[in-house]
Amino acid sequence: MGLIHEIDYGTPASKAEKQVTLTVDGFTVTVPEGTSIMRASMEAGIQIPKLCATDMVDAFGSCRLCLVEIEGRAGTPSSCTTPVAPGMVVKTQTNRLKDIRRGVMELYISDHPLDCLTCAANGDCELQDMAGAVGLRDVRYGYEGDNHVFAKDRADGAENFRWMAKDESNPYFTYDPSKCIVCSRCVRACEEVQGTFALTIEGRGFESRVSPGMHQLFLDSECVSCGACVQACPTATLTEKSVIEIGQPEHSVVTTCAYCGVGCSFKAEMRGDELVRMVPWKDGKANRGHSCVKGRFAYGYATHKERILNPMVREKITDPWREVTWDEAFAHVAKEFRRIQYQYGKGSIGGITSSRCTNEETYLVQKLIRQGFGNNNVDTCARVCHSPTGYGLGQTYGTSAGTQDFDSVEESDVIMVIGANPSAAHPVFASRMKKRIRQGAKLIVLDPRRTESVTSVHAKADYHLALKPGTNVAVVTALAHVIVTEGLFDEAFIRERCDWSEFEDWAAFVADPQHSPEAVEKISGVPAETIRGAARLYATGGNGAIYYGLGVTEHSQGSTTVMAIANLAMATGNIGRRGVGVNPLRGQNNVQGSCDMGSFPHELPGYRHISGDAVRDIYEALWGVKLDNEPGLRIPNMLDAAVEGTFKGIYIQGEDILQSDPDTHHVSAGLAAMECVVVHDLFLNETANYAHVFLPGSTFLEKDGTFTNAERRINRVRKVMAPKNGLADWEVTQKLAQAMGLSWNYTHPSQVMDEIAMTTPSFQKVSYDLLDEMGSVQWPCNEKAPEGTPIMHVGGFVRGKGKFIRTEYVATDEKTGPRFPLLLTTGRILSQYNVGAQTRRTDNVVWHAEDVLEIHPHDAEQRGVRDGDWVRLKSRAGETTLRAEITDRVSPGVVYTTFHHPDTQANVVTTDFSDWATNCPEYKVTAVQVSPSNGPSEWQEEYEELSKRSRRIEGHMEAAE
Amino acid sequence: MTMQPASTDIAARAATVVAERRNLEGPLLPILHELQAEFGHVPQEALPVIAEALNLSKAEVHGVVTFYHDFRREPAGRHVIKLCRAEACQSMGGDAVAARLQELLGIGFHETAKDGSVTLDPVYCLGLCACAPAALVDGEPVGRLDEEALQAIAAEVRA
């Protein structure tokens, strides 16, 4: 295998079309205009010595090592900052250049420790490489005098005021200033790649040092720990702590991150079967070599002590767990499920697929339910996040997915972000978006909160529509009102691609004065002029792209908002080419995939309705069973049925519905009423408190498969170590199916993908061979698009004509009143992921140890709440307590919290109102009251007690967590 | 906000200074100059205020402030002497002048006398090479420094 080394071309690629031919050391090379001599030379296979250049950031020309001679030009220009010219004749190695380079290296080494043998970067140090490359044999300057290397003067022991101690404040990497050569690659990576600008060079001349923030510790600075600086550092100055502890990796495997829907490609760098570090892969098409704190560093949960590695069973949920063999566990589940079906009917059991697991695993779970359980009682967590996307975009455009690839943002001129905070939830996409904004694109944000995405350094939103939670439809329709009444729509596009009469009907609807910004201002609190300005900018500013998140979907009118967004894009012609489009930012790594794989009760893989005879025929022939042509139960329906006593058994793979689903009391009542709850997960999660069987899961590092990200990109997940629990998740499902009498016999997930491709038109050409060859592919991938489809709806909509749909604003039933005068909305932060099952079990907790309630100073003052006080958060559904943070990021009347920690249980408070079309819960709006409190609520105390009791394992000294 | 009252005043004043200048082209340096003129130095508490108002990171503002030696991190003495240490002045006996001046003032370069009377800074070329060795005393150029001139300067700043 060996380590994968991407070629570093030194400077970014030029996108120019015009080609230029030059000669480098006698070899002819042709490159795009604007390419640096350094890059052109590397293309010709000649590596010019360099230290401050790397192809992730622009040329800087500070290290003076990459000098070359050019025929007919005076001096020795730096090859990184000099662009190629036609007919140029370049020499990269002459006696003069050799002398200069050796002299420069001597100076570098005269202020650098000579501890190579014990240095963490030994074997992966560009300074070391360059010393070798230039033939450095001697350092004439010695180490006396001024230096940054030694803490004390070596002669008299006096303090060296220039020396700075190592900064170990970040949990994942160290900063050792004594090894820094001030190439400023880290500073530029933080600025150009990540866009946080947390680093600078302080001082000047010999006093120059890298400084996080204002000469602060990394942890105290604005640093978001994305790792771009560590990746860029050519020395041991910035080094992963894991490399310091373990040593350099010896082989690497390209795989896909298992956190958010961006789906970053990483090299898992290994030593034996120990993971040394995760490094973003430059050829990854979603992330282009960038990462965030979660994917880059937060993988420690895979070896966390609380991870359960043995199957467990218990009679009652009040009993302690009993460890059993895999065979006993499978036999027990099969027996129980068959008993329940015999006793309560075929439809009395069901299952939930996981958006965290692979496509192949998800496909197998829905297959187990349809083929083995003989019903359609399968649902997935997308029910609670992006089901309105599937419905809304399906209705208007004909596909249930985003229209673009992430590269498309590089050509956007106006970016509208609705109900999403990419800087926290989709950080790598946010970095790519901010890069485009720094190049001049405009940004419009619709969000009740002034999020990081609104106030990014050098990428501030031009318009922030701080709307009242629950008024999305009104505001988006008001944008349409402006576009229609001011004649800003794209008539040619609409006449060609859409149904003109439907447009006319819709235009008449939105033009009604009740949808005007002035009228909507009263409902939403957004000034009419801001709405008008944003609408004009989106309609007339060039390529307009919309990215949206759960702030759109998780509402009682989630589907309506999705359709309103689709209308906006159609009306302005912003569909069907690069730089435009409508893009849901999917929350989980494989939520797109789990939807694609037929996880919904009404759909077979590829979004084909279960009532379609032709579709059922395909699977009935292959699986040898008769399929039910009626849709099965959705998650909330399963819980309702459980409370009623007609639904008794469930197989839940990799989802913690107790914590993530709304109205916790209802979920717990439903689970408690069941007779066989099977939880298949890495940890004893909150749902497992109500489980009778626990099947230990495997991590993404321990299995083969594919994840499909938010841009429909099917990425390979590759096994880098054996499953610590013994079986990959797909094997667990297969063995369970076998125990239930099904004759499954897959020996590798690629065979599952072959079955998916064989039965699903949009995956027709997908195979592991194709993925290995292309790296990744975006569906649809079929006869018409054998290499996949980066941009959808080019030349026409998938459904034929784009459909305009009226979007009437209906206020949610969740209303504020005297008892519950504030509106609670929920969200995420950067360092934690979803319910936190993984990230809470990593050092990411240094950034976010608990959920807090953000409240406006005015509302806090009225209630006598001070910053850091415990407060009680109460709604019609329930109450919880947490600490308050007073901030004007939220408007008066709005409070905000995250749901990363189970002891807060924000969903105790959320209600069971949901989207009219898809039942997607209304997490984003809950009427609440906030009052001072002394500590945890009764529910929190009871629940903690239950958790403790429920997590006892026989023979173990103490319960996990 | 958990700042001390004095800091709050600085932050408030900084906010005003920033507000008056934020629409200039390249507003950061004029803002820093104005703060230095007002406080005698650029107070640390002002940096986050500037960063937020100009949509810069704190690190960027810190980088600029520390790059320019003329932006002070704490107040200078009542008098400021900038002695030229560049080549022309060195060739005209600048080393001896520097040593003598430090001796007379009782402070080294980059230091302020304990009584706050004077700060001594090295500078690199005042453009007064024809009158080397040269210095700036409270902004006034002084040339051809000799023992007499140094004594006079020391007496003046001590007065």
Chain B, 16-55: which have a CB under 8 Å from a chain A CB? 44, 47, 55
* CA atoms of A746 and A743, how far apart (whole Å): 10
Domain ranges for chain B: 5-67, 79-158
A423/B contact by beta carbon, under 8 A? no
Q: Per-residue pLDDT tens for A574-615?
A: 999 999 999 999 888 898 899 899 999 999 999 899 999 999
DSSP reduced 3-state for A846: helix
CA A576 remoteness from chain centre: 24
Q: Interior CA angle at A461 toward A457 and A464, to 5°?
A: 135
CA atoms within a 13 Å half-sphere pointing along the CA-CB vector of B59: 25
Give the pLDDT score at A958: 52
Chain A contact probe: residue of B50, B62, B123 with most A CBs at under 10 A:
B62
Class for the domain spanning A397-563: alpha beta
Min Cα separation A214/chain B (Å) = 5
**Closest residue of A to B69, CA-based?**
A203
* CA atoms of A699 and A842, how far apart (whole Å): 14
DSSP reduced 3-state for A777: strand
Contact predicate A348/A341, CB 8 Å: yes
Contacts of B59 in chain A (CB under 8 A): 197-200, 211-214, 221-222
Give the pLDDT score at A957: 60
Instruction: Say if the Cβ atoms of B61 and A214 lie within 8 Å.
Output: yes
* CA atoms of A548 and A433, how far apart (whole Å): 13
Min Cα separation A208/chain B (Å) = 9
**Closest residue of A to B70, CA-based?**
A203
Give the pLDDT score at A959: 44
**Low-confidence residues of chain A, pLDDT below 70?**
1, 957-961
Query: Could you report the predicted ipTM of this complex, rounded to two decimals?
Result: 0.88
DSSP reduced 3-state for A457: coil
Amino acid making up residue A58: D
Of A197, A455, A460, the CB nearest to B59: A197
Average pLDDT of span B94-99: 94
Min Cα separation A854/chain B (Å) = 15
Q: Is A517 exposed, middle or buried (0-12, 13-18, 19+ CB in 10 A)?
A: buried
B4/A contact by beta carbon, under 8 A? no
Name the token pair of A131. 């010393």
* CA atoms of A299 and A267, how far apart (whole Å): 13
The pLDDT of residue B4 is above 60: no
For residue A414, which of A533, A537, A596, A238 has the smallest C-alpha distance?
Answer: A537
* CA atoms of A532 and A520, how far apart (whole Å): 11
Chain B contact probe: residue of A201, A454, A455, A457 with most B CBs at under 10 A:
A457
Contact predicate A227/A247, CB 8 Å: no
A324-385+590-778: which CATH number, 3.30.300.180, 3.60.70.12, 3.40.50.740, 3.40.50.450? 3.40.50.740
B79-158: which CATH number, 3.40.50.450, 3.40.50.970, 3.40.30.10, 3.40.50.2300? 3.40.30.10
Instruction: Say if the Cβ atoms of B47 and A214 lie within 8 Å.
Output: yes
Q: Do A173-303 and A822-950 fold alike per CATH?
A: no
* CA atoms of A8 and A234, how far apart (whole Å): 12
Domain A19-133 annotated CATH 3.10.20.740 = yes
Contact predicate A230/A239, CB 8 Å: yes
**Closest residue of A to B64, CA-based?**
A202
> How many Cβ atoms from other residues are within 10 Å of residue A119's Cβ?
20
A189/B contact by beta carbon, under 8 A? no
Beta bridge partners of A270: A251, A275
Domain ranges for chain A: 19-133, 173-303, 324-385+590-778, 397-563, 822-950
A213/B contact by beta carbon, under 8 A? yes
The residue whose two tokens read 């309705």 is A609
Amino acid making up residue A138: D
Q: Is A339 exposed, middle or buried (0-12, 13-18, 19+ CB in 10 A)?
A: middle
Contacts of A214 in chain B (CB under 8 A): 44, 47, 58-59, 61-62
For residue A851, which of A904, A909, A928, A923 has the smallest C-alpha distance?
Answer: A904
Amino acid making up residue A578: R
Chain B contact probe: residue of A199, A200, A224, A453 with most B CBs at under 10 A:
A200
Chain A, 459-498: which have a CB under 8 Å from a chain B CB? 460
Contact predicate A357/A729, CB 8 Å: yes
Contacts of A202 in chain B (CB under 8 A): 62-63, 66-67
A253/B contact by beta carbon, under 8 A? no
Cβ neighbours of residue A198 under 8 Å, at least 6 residues apart? A190, A212, A213, A221, A222, A223, A224, B57, B59
Torsion angles phi and psi, residue B48, rounded to 5: -60, -35
Per DSSP (E only), the strands in B14-142 are: 79-84, 111-112, 118-123, 135-137, 140-142
Of A196, A211, A458, the CB nearest to B62: A211
* CA atoms of B145 and B93, how far apart (whole Å): 9
* CA atoms of B68 and A203, how far apart (whole Å): 8
Contacts of A197 in chain B (CB under 8 A): 56-57, 59-60
Whole-prediction pTM value?
A: 0.91
**Closest residue of B to A460, CA-based?**
B55
Class for the domain spanning A822-950: mainly beta
Which CATH architecture describes the domain A173-303? 2-Layer Sandwich (3.30)
Amino acid making up residue A511: A
**Closest residue of B to A199, CA-based?**
B59
Of B44, B57, B66, the CB nearest to A203: B66
Contacts of A203 in chain B (CB under 8 A): 66-67
* CA atoms of A217 and A663, how far apart (whole Å): 41
Contacts of A215 in chain B (CB under 8 A): 62, 66
Chain A contact probe: residue of B55, B56, B61, B66 with most A CBs at under 10 A:
B66
CA A798 remoteness from chain centre: 27
**Closest residue of A to B63, CA-based?**
A202
Contact predicate A822/A480, CB 8 Å: no
* CA atoms of A386 and A383, how far apart (whole Å): 7
B108/A contact by beta carbon, under 8 A? no
Instruction: Say if the Cβ atoms of A455 and B55 lie within 8 Å.
Output: yes
For residue A766, which of A712, A702, A834 has the smallest C-alpha distance?
Answer: A712
Q: Per-residue pLDDT tens for B5-44?
A: 466 688 888 899 999 998 999 999 999 999 999 888 999 9
Give the pLDDT score at B3: 38
B59/A contact by beta carbon, under 8 A? yes
